[in-house]
Structure 1
Amino acid sequence: MFVSFLLLTALLFTACGGDAEPAAGDEAAIEGDGDALRIAIVTSPSGVDDGSFNQDNYNGILAFMENHSNATVNAIQETTGDVAAAVQAVADVVADYDVIVTPGFQFADISSIAEDNPEKMFILVDANPTPQGEQELFDNIYAMTFAEEESGFFAGVAAALETETGKVAVVNGIAFPSNVNYQWGFESGVMYANQHFGTDAEVVELPSYAGTDVTNTNVGGNYVGNFADPATGKVVGDALVDEGVDIMFVAAGGSGMGVFTAAMEAEGVYVIGCDVDQFDDGAYSDGNVVLTSVLKNMSINVERQLNAIMEGTFQGSNELLRADTDSTGFVLENDRHQLSEETMEKLEEVYELVQAGTIVPAANFNGHSPDNFPGL
């Protein structure tokens, strides 16, 4: 349970150390013996140094390279954010690499490329591949999706327990399923804390920044509309602060840095980091605005699949990863969060319930809503 999660989280933090972060397009290699696996990671415009989603995937590759010293990685940054352009960026380089890691929902259509290149391996993060005819599974694509709603749930519980104003919010990038999962999980967590822990927190939404999901449904929330627009992120953050919000859960990639800045410029306002431990991102002259961070342990799972490729045990599949595989969670180290001891105890309590499947927070397509989900 928590022991195994703590060990995996410690590995994640080691991988997230910021010493080796070549800019997009740079080739990184470790000298010495080992197998010369050629790896590419193709990312959204925010690149591999976004301090969040893309970087965690990249860190999984770097962790693998530490034990496979002739492996190389090239970080390729697709600059438009367009789905068709993202897939084309993969097609442009597929001939040059053994493995291509594609973090993001926008890469789901690489299934057609995988079919045409059966000798290449693909690690798809945050999406299942688009079916080709009746085929949904591909021998050379390991697709991992995460129950982001679980990590969002932990953020919502923490925010509800720690807010001083009684107003909290979640700021997202684009209403891809993973982001909506975070949003609805957060709202579920606030609802749970209000009902079970005696809090009275309100989730604030700005109608002008409501999100539209992949089915063209208005999902509400606060969406920047981009993962690489910190200026608009700050606008959204400032507007929420003006509404009295004092804790913002930020799931917006590079755009989230603008929300962090808004919190730093306000008084008594905190953020909850997303995907990775973002405590260092919250430091400024007067202290630190990161209350805690909730985790989606991508780096560990990317490294696992690269190891499987080297060991000859790689199998294409579409996997949904949850707390029961230590793939979702929150920061445990005392010097990496600012939560009260009481809040941590309650988070550990609900973590075990989520891990056991007793609590199933609402997600974009799981049939539950933030005010009606198993365990509420």
Structure 2
Amino acid sequence: MFKKGISLLLALLLVVGMLAGCAQKAPEQAEKQEPTEKPLKIAMVTDVGGVHDKSFNESAWEGLQRAEKELGIKAGYQESKQEADYADNLELLVDQGNDLVWGIGFLMGKQVKEAAENYPDQKFAIIDNAYKETPKNLMGVLFKEQEAAFLVGYIAGKMTKTNKVGFIGGMDFDVIHRFHYGYKAGVKYANPDCEVFEQYAGAFDKPAIGRSIAESMYGNGADIIFHAAGDTGNGMIEVAKEKNKYAIGVDKDQNKDAPENVITSAVKRVDNAIFNVAKDLKEGKWQGGSTVVYGLAEGGVDIAPSSNKLVPKEILDEVEQLKKKIVSGEIKIPQSKEEYESMMK
């Protein structure tokens, strides 16, 4: 009887011990948290101008940095030193596990599309290019550069004292044509008698060439030059400072580079486009297989905020009226030589 009682007591103690052990584990289980959602990884491949080109590559990187700060994404970039780097850089960013890979610039259009076809489960996007047939995992972003260029051209036509102004283009293709002929149309709209010097540098990363062209144009009487040439155009701005001439920047507000010389800039909000796509992606929206276009109406292009430092108020008031006419469609801005020549007729 006594032995049976002891055995029963030991069994009871064993059960209580097991229950106590389970009770001790419960708080640990309660403290376990659901795994946090991994931040989106978005990275970009720069064009040859590099991430500090004071132009569209830098603007794109600013958009990613803003997305990192405000949306919590993880941003990165890979710089291209030459066009041969594009494909390898795109593949490197895919290998790094990025959710979205950007190609910055028209020149890598072919490589971005090939990468999208080679990696159908990877999302890609490109600035300044569109495709006749866009893969579902790729989206293009274009801008109505001609609208901003027309406005700065109007300012140049109104402010020139010599009746001679200049344009320096980076490379001879559609994106720069929109700047070129939009600017020329704006100059002529403001001042039909003004002469426009025009030259393409053949590169976006050669400030020395920009310097050489600018020295020639200023030497021939131009008192204002607009560039759409990336880092090449920064050479022109340096000459404007040295010769105390006026310059017009591009893509970003370049007044800070020469506060007494850069009267305005044709601003192209690549940063806004990059940020907006990141925001959409985080919210589960993806416009793959399509092309998004940003103009004045969409807040994608404009003149620089610093324009009021050197441009007279009456001219800026006229510019504001022109903006309304452009957005309404009353004024159609040419984006090619053919459209410009048709407009002039």
From the superposition, tell whether residues 77 and 334 of structure 1 become closer, same or farther in structure 2 (CA, over 3 Å).
Answer: closer
Q: Does 1:264 align with 2:241?
A: yes
By how many angstroms is 1:99 displaced?
Answer: 1.1
Aligned identity (percent) is: 27
**Aligned 1:157-196 pairs, distance under 5 A:** 157-194=154-191
Mapped partners of 1:282, 1:372: distance in 2: 36
For 2:50, which of 47, 58, 81 is the aligned residue?
A: 47
Query: Do the aligned partners of 2:46 and 2:104 also contact (CA within 8 Å) in 1?
Result: yes
**Aligned 1:1-376 pairs, distance under 5 A:** 35-69=38-72, 71-80=73-82, 82=83, 85-96=85-96, 97-109=98-110, 110-129=112-131, 131=132, 136-194=133-191, 200-204=193-197, 221-267=198-244, 269-283=245-259, 288-316=260-288, 317-333=290-306, 337-364=309-336, 367-369=338-340, 371-373=341-343
Secondary structure at 1:323 match in 2: coil
My pick for the range that moved more, 108-117 or 164-173, is 108-117
How many residues of Structure 1 are paired with residues of Structure 2 in the alignment? 307
- AA aligned opposite 2:296: A
Mapped partners of 1:332, 1:281: distance in 2: 14
Query: Which has more helix, going by share of residues?
Result: 2
Mapped partners of 2:41, 2:305: distance in 1: 35
- AA aligned opposite 1:307: K
By how many angstroms is 1:235 displaced?
Answer: 0.5
Secondary structure at 2:161 match in 1: coil
By how many angstroms is 1:321 displaced?
Answer: 2.0
By how many angstroms is 1:299 displaced?
Answer: 0.8
Mapped partners of 2:87, 2:336: distance in 1: 24
- AA aligned opposite 1:356: S
- AA aligned opposite 2:262: V
- AA aligned opposite 2:80: E
By how many angstroms is 1:34 displaced?
Answer: 7.3
By how many angstroms is 1:263 displaced?
Answer: 0.6
Match of 2:14 in 1: none
From the superposition, tell whether residues 298 and 289 of structure 1 become closer, same or farther in structure 2 (CA, over 3 Å).
Answer: same
Mapped partners of 1:86, 1:298: distance in 2: 19
**Structure 1 length-normalised TM:** 0.77
- AA aligned opposite 2:302: G
- AA aligned opposite 2:284: G
Consecutive unaligned residues of structure 1, counting only runs of 5 or more, are 1-32, 205-220
From the superposition, tell whether residues 315 and 259 of structure 1 become closer, same or farther in structure 2 (CA, over 3 Å).
Answer: same
By how many angstroms is 1:101 displaced?
Answer: 1.3
- CA RMSD, aligned part only? 1.9
Cα deviations across residues 215-274 of structure 1 (Å, max 9, x unaligned)? Answer: xxxxxx31111111111110011010111000001111111111011111113x111111
Consecutive unaligned residues of structure 2, counting only runs of 5 or more, are 1-35
Mapped partners of 1:178, 1:263: distance in 2: 25
- AA aligned opposite 1:100: V
Mapped partners of 1:92, 1:59: distance in 2: 21
- AA aligned opposite 1:249: F
Mapped partners of 1:79, 1:307: distance in 2: 29
- AA aligned opposite 1:55: E
- AA aligned opposite 2:163: G
By how many angstroms is 1:301 displaced?
Answer: 1.3
From the superposition, tell whether residues 169 and 118 of structure 1 become closer, same or farther in structure 2 (CA, over 3 Å).
Answer: same
**Structure 2 length-normalised TM:** 0.84
Query: Do the aligned partners of 2:253 and 2:306 also contact (CA within 8 Å) in 1?
Result: no
Mapped partners of 1:58, 1:373: distance in 2: 36
Mapped partners of 2:296, 2:154: distance in 1: 16
By how many angstroms is 1:193 displaced?
Answer: 1.1
By how many angstroms is 1:68 displaced?
Answer: 3.0
Cα deviations across residues 61-80 of structure 1 (Å, max 9, x unaligned)? Answer: 111111233x3222211111
Mapped partners of 2:343, 2:299: distance in 1: 22
Query: Do the aligned partners of 1:362 and 1:373 also contact (CA within 8 Å) in 2?
Result: yes
Cα deviations across residues 129-173 of structure 1 (Å, max 9, x unaligned)? Answer: 4x5xxxx12222221111111111111101000111110011111
Mapped partners of 1:280, 1:34: distance in 2: 40
